[in-house]
Amino acid sequence: MSEHVYKIVELVGSSTKGSDEAVRNAIARAGKTLRNLDWFEVKEMRGHLADGKISHWQVKLAVGFRLTD
Amino acid sequence: MSEHVYKIVELVGSSTKGSDEAVRNAIARAGKTLRNLDWFEVKEMRGHLADGKISHWQVKLAVGFRLTD
Amino acid sequence: MSEHVYKIVELVGSSTKGSDEAVRNAIARAGKTLRNLDWFEVKEMRGHLADGKISHWQVKLAVGFRLTD
Amino acid sequence: MSEHVYKIVELVGSSTKGSDEAVRNAIARAGKTLRNLDWFEVKEMRGHLADGKISHWQVKLAVGFRLTD
Amino acid sequence: MSEHVYKIVELVGSSTKGSDEAVRNAIARAGKTLRNLDWFEVKEMRGHLADGKISHWQVKLAVGFRLTD
Amino acid sequence: MSEHVYKIVELVGSSTKGSDEAVRNAIARAGKTLRNLDWFEVKEMRGHLADGKISHWQVKLAVGFRLTD
Amino acid sequence: MSEHVYKIVELVGSSTKGSDEAVRNAIARAGKTLRNLDWFEVKEMRGHLADGKISHWQVKLAVGFRLTD
Amino acid sequence: MSEHVYKIVELVGSSTKGSDEAVRNAIARAGKTLRNLDWFEVKEMRGHLADGKISHWQVKLAVGFRLTD
Amino acid sequence: MSEHVYKIVELVGSSTKGSDEAVRNAIARAGKTLRNLDWFEVKEMRGHLADGKISHWQVKLAVGFRLTD
Amino acid sequence: MSEHVYKIVELVGSSTKGSDEAVRNAIARAGKTLRNLDWFEVKEMRGHLADGKISHWQVKLAVGFRLTD
Amino acid sequence: MSEHVYKIVELVGSSTKGSDEAVRNAIARAGKTLRNLDWFEVKEMRGHLADGKISHWQVKLAVGFRLTD
Amino acid sequence: MSEHVYKIVELVGSSTKGSDEAVRNAIARAGKTLRNLDWFEVKEMRGHLADGKISHWQVKLAVGFRLTD
């Protein structure tokens, strides 16, 4: 029962609003094609600048999901 | 005077709202039993997913406090 | 001939028995859907605790396999 | 055209409000003296504590900008 | 409910038998004084040598447990 | 518009000629099955030796591509 | 006999004199409340500056001590 | 004589030709405004992709130069 | 007496049986030519796969031994 | 008041006497051209050898200073 | 058969021509005194600058070779 | 001329006096059997504790020396 196997995919979410929102956007996209999403881990936080301001935040994250047998 | 010694403890705070709130929750809990809290440092940011959404954020942080003599 | 390209996937295997067994479980699962598995590398070793004991070991590993042309 | 050279400076922004705001404060300050800001990357997230609460967040970031010829 | 706070302690377990056993020994010792043990993570694996053989394995691990309110 | 989500895959390219060529080979292979390739990052550079010479270079790289909605 | 378990605590020692003295100060403080101190490891070396000079050195160290049964 | 002080600046050079050329471009640009360049160190190697090909290589490097008194 | 100097060599042991056995094999080989072996530290754990199974485990370790005067 | 922005510069100080002195030399040099120096952090400690002896120690450090508005 | 033990040595190769050539020079030198060279891994890429140009590239690499019984 | 090849060995020096002295002791020992010592780099700083005091400092360092042709 506890001998599950999980797969991890790496995504970069972006948002004009902030870092947490960039994470949420990536998770939302992952949920469209993957089932059994279980956890995420932030790997890198960065962003693009335009006209001296943050045009969008970019957060790289690992997302783990349980593989079905 | 500046020859203080500090101790560092590692905590994981969680929150359903966002990453900053998870940090605040951990600091609030630390303040219940430790005095002279001085600084914190974020070590890891992750979270649990349920039904394709973030059920709670989890932030691991180191918290430093000054030891009294 | 030596100009192959490999892909790496990241998996987490779990086992109630021990760390090596968690690796073997992940490899066994990978072998169900991927061909030409070539090597693995352990990235992280952890586990869940229940009632003060290890309920299952979890080993994160990268698995490399050769892409066919 | 794509053979630009970029310089990276390291800044620490602080804020009483939260981590994203600390990033924005650092970028705003950078924009006062540097042109062609292009990207940033968060390197470290920490903060000072006073009276058991976060008095201000501190985020260290690398900021890249394009050098003009 | 999910807004728990966890504390992490770092331990080194040792064993003459093998690396997994060193982990189990550290967990067993942690369970004597700490409640609500939740997870562990291996940080370092090493050992002492005597007469050209492994006299004991030493595994450094972080152990997380839930703080009660 | 800037709220795209990207996926990252990890590949190892190899080449008998040199390190840059190993990168190019991996990118060429990625382009056969993936669209909207956006960036790559070198993670590791190594190679196999035979008869005291480099028989082929192996470069591990992360390749990011934009996910379509 | 060799199946001891050790605990590691993280401290920051400070000194106006130099880096080694900051280590010694932290160890001296640790010895006031902990028994069976066994080893230390320097994790970070930093310091505060005032009037363009080092006002005090700060060394973060991990200190390991044997737990009694 | 050997008690020199050096400063390190971080640059990203780019090139359509290859990774070494991206390094050379960054050094050439540094030489326009800095004197006594002494060494460089590659910190990161990446690149942009367009139409499934490498449009330009980007190499982040630290460049050290001796400060005059 | 305590002012000994130690040398560290890096080895990769392999085994068809498991990760601990790969460590033991490397130590056994080291003991054939080196005296005063004192400690080891695991640096990397990986392995080769054949027919979808682990054909052998490979563990990279650093082995320290005391130099005689 | 606490919403200051700091800049970090990287320096290498050298000394024939020892590691702490190399740090002090770098700080002294920084103080000639920069104001509001606030903290330093040691990043790397190395040195040059000549005739089998240490000819000079070299310490790379990050130095943070507060930017004025 | 697969239970070989490998030793790893660390070398720095240099070249006036480029980074790959620095690797080849180190391997060529290793081949003069070591047999059964099996693989290499690049650990660090740097170089010396003179007159604002790269006077030579320096690549640190680990070289693994199989130990005979 | 600049196409030299260097070898790096890893040593741990110890001293009852302090961290710099531990480095010097390791270099002195290296100089007994190796020629053309060129540089060193500190990799780790630790020590043993006895009776609540530092019994000896231990510094792990990499030492580079030029190989003759």
Tens digits of residue pLDDT in H49-67: 999 999 999 999 999 999 9
Distance from CA of C36 to the nearest CA of I (A): 7
CB contact under 8 A, E6 and B15: no
Work out the average pLDDT over J21-42: 97
Are the C-beta atoms of G42 and L46 separated by less than 8 Å? yes
Looking at residue H52, the DSSP 8-state letter turns out to be: T
Predicted local distance difference test score (pLDDT) of residue L69: 73
Chain J partners of H9 at a C-beta cutoff of 8 Å? 10
Distance (Å) from the alpha carbon of J56 to chain L's nearest alpha carbon: 10
Write the DSSP string, chain C: ----EEEEEEEEEEESS-HHHHHHHHHHHHHHH--SEEEEEEEEEEEEEETTEEEEEEEEEEEEEEPP-
Structure tokens at C47: 């586990």
K19-33 helix and H19-33 helix, angle to the nearest 10 degrees: 120
Mutate to test the interface with C, among I16, I23, I46, I58 (most CBs of C within 10 A): I46
Higher pLDDT, I3 or B1: I3
What's the whole-number average pLDDT of chain B? 95
Q: How far is E31 from chain B (nearest CA, A)?
A: 18
- Reported as a pLDDT band with limits 50, 70 and 90, residue L3 is confident
G touches E, CB cut-off 8 Å, minimum 3 pairs: yes
Give whole-number Cα distances, A11 to A28, B19, B49, C52, K19, in Å.
Answer: 11, 18, 15, 35, 31
Residue K2: the pLDDT is 55
Residue G3 and residue E14 in contact, taking contact as beta carbons nearer than 8 Å: yes
Chains G and I lie in contact, requiring 3 or more CB pairs less than 8 Å apart: no
- The answer to whether chain L touches chain I by having 3 or more C-beta pairs less than 8 angstroms apart is yes
Average pLDDT, chain L: 95
Which tokens hold the place of J2? 């606490």
Count Cβ–Cβ pairs < 8 Å, chain E vs chain G.
Answer: 34
**E strand or H helix at K31:** helix K19-33
Q: How confident is the model at residue C2 (pLDDT cuts 50, 70, 90)?
A: low
How many helices (H) does chain H have, and how many strands (E)?
1, 3
pLDDT tens string I30-58: 999 999 999 999 999 999 999 999 999 99
The residue ranking higher by pLDDT, B37 or C2, is B37
Select from E24, E31, E41 the Cβ nearest to the Cβ of C46: E41
> Which residues in chain B are closer than 8 Å to E10, comparing Cβ atoms?
10
Q: E interface mutation test: which of B14, B59, B65 has the most E CBs within 10 A? A: B14
User: At residue H69, does pLDDT exceed 90?
Assistant: no
For L40, the closest of J18, J20, J46 (CB atoms) is: J46
What is the model's pLDDT at position H20? 98
Q: Which residues of D touch H (CB under 8 A)?
A: 2-10, 62, 64, 67
Nearest-CA distance G39 → chain J (Å): 22
Interface contact flag, E2 B56, Cβ < 8 Å: yes
Q: What is the pLDDT of residues I9-22, one digit of tens each?
A: 999 999 999 999 99
Quote the percentage of chain L above a pLDDT of 70: 97
Q: Tell me the average pLDDT of chain J.
A: 95
Residues of B in contact with G11 (CB under 8 A): 5-8
Write the pLDDT tens digit of every residue in F25-47: 999 999 999 999 999 999 999 99
Q: Band of the pLDDT at L23, cuts 50, 70, 90? A: very high
What percentage of residues in chain H have a pLDDT greater than 90?
93
G67–E29 CB contact, under 8 Å: yes
Instruction: Please name the residue of chain L whose CA is at the shortest distance from the CA of residue I38.
Output: L12
Identify the band that residue B1 occupies on the pLDDT scale cut at 50, 70 and 90: very low
* I chain contacts of residue L16, beta-carbon cutoff 8 Å: 2-3
Q: Nearest-CA distance from C68 to chain F in Å?
A: 10
Q: Are A20 and A57 in contact (CB under 8 A)?
A: no
Interchain CB distance below 8 Å, D23 and A54? yes
Q: What is the DSSP letter of I62?
A: E
Confidence of residue I3 (pLDDT cuts 50, 70, 90): confident
- C-beta separation of F14 from F58 below 8 A: yes
Å from E14 to nearest chain G CA?
Answer: 5
Please say whether the dihedral angle defined by the alpha carbons of residues D32, H60, D24 and G60, taken in this order, is positive or negative.
negative
Q: Are B16 and D46 in contact (CB under 8 A)?
A: no
| Res. F69 pLDDT band, cuts 50 70 90 | confident
Measuring CA to CA, which residue among K57, G19, J25 is closest to residue L42?
Answer: G19
By Cβ distance, the residue of A3, A7, A10 closest to C14 is A3
Give the model confidence (pLDDT) of G5-64 as tens digits. Answer: 999 999 999 999 999 999 999 999 999 999 999 999 999 999 999 999 999 999 999 999
**Chain J positions in Cβ-Cβ contact with residue G21 (cut-off 8 Å):** none
Q: Please report which confidence band the pLDDT of residue E2 belongs to, taking 50, 70 and 90 as the band edges.
A: low
C-alpha distance across the termini of chain L, in Å: 11
Per-residue model confidence as pLDDT tens digits over K13-63 = 999 999 999 999 999 999 999 999 999 999 999 999 999 999 999 999 999
Residues with Cβ within 8 Å of F23's Cβ and at least 6 positions away in sequence, in order, are F13, F40, F42, F59, F61, H19, H47, H54
Closest CA to F26 of H39, J8, C64: C64
pLDDT value of residue B58: 98
% residues pLDDT > 90 (chain F): 93
Q: State residue K69's pLDDT score.
A: 73
In L, which residues are within 8 Å of I5 by CB distance? 11-14, 25-26, 29
Range C9-33 average pLDDT: 97
**pLDDT tens-digit profile, chain D (69 residues):** 458 999 999 999 999 999 999 999 999 999 999 999 999 999 999 999 999 999 999 999 999 999 997
d(CA D36, CA D14): 23
Q: Identify all chain J residues contacting D56, using CB atoms and an 8 Å cutoff.
A: 2-3
Which residues contact residue I12 at a Cβ distance below 8 angstroms, ignoring those fewer than 6 apart?
A: I26, I58, I59, I60, I61, K5, K6, K7, K8, K64
- Each residue's pLDDT tens digit, A36-68: 999 999 999 999 999 999 999 999 999 999 999
Q: Is the pLDDT of residue C15 over 50?
A: yes
- The lowest-confidence range among C2-11, F33-42, H44-53 is C2-11
Give the distance from residue I18's alpha carbon to the nearest chain E alpha carbon, in angstroms.
Answer: 11
Of A18, A20, A53, the CB nearest to D27: A53
